[in-house]
Structure 1
Amino acid sequence: MRLWKLLGLAGLAGVAATGAVLARGERQRRVHTPEEVRARLRERHAALADVPEPGTTAELVSGRAHRVARLLRRR
């Protein structure tokens, strides 16, 4: 019987902690206006647009050559 009480109390503590974390996150989201959120998203998008896309031809060729060399070493 004592084990069930401990499990019940642990469950209640977990629910309370989860609610506190969710409430804090919601408060942080409500601090920003929609315009601020849009501006931050546009900044992040612009930063990602400047990064070259992975998987260029040179990288693919070197990657294939590496895999082939590794397979040949196994034999």
Structure 2
Amino acid sequence: MRLWKLLGLAGLAGVAATGVVLARGERQRRAHTPEEVRTRLRERHAALADAPEPVTAAELASGRGHRLARVLRRR
């Protein structure tokens, strides 16, 4: 019977700890102003726009991305 009590208390402690972590994350998210959120989204979009294009099949055949070509041939 004592083991079950300890397991129950451990479960309650786990639930409480999870709630604390979720509440802290929510407070941090709500701390940003809408303008800060917009700025961060625009920065992320600009970073994605500057990313290199994915490797095409022709480039794989020519040797570019040879490691990827080997992985794809294994399938």
User: Please, what TM-score do these two structures have when normalized by structure 1?
Assistant: 0.76
Q: State the superposition RMSD in angstroms.
A: 2.2
Q: How far apart are the structure 1 equivalents of 2:24 and 2:9?
A: 23
**How many percent of aligned residue pairs carry the same amino acid?**
82
User: Please, what TM-score do these two structures have when normalized by structure 2?
Assistant: 0.76
Unpaired segments of 5 or more residues in structure 1? none
Give the paired residue count: 67
**Bigger proportion of residues as helix:** 1
Q: How far apart are the structure 2 equivalents of 1:27 and 1:37?
A: 14
Deviant stretches of 4+, over 4 Å = none
Equivalent position of 2:37 in the other structure: 37
Unpaired segments of 5 or more residues in structure 2? none
Corresponding letter in the other structure for 1:21: V
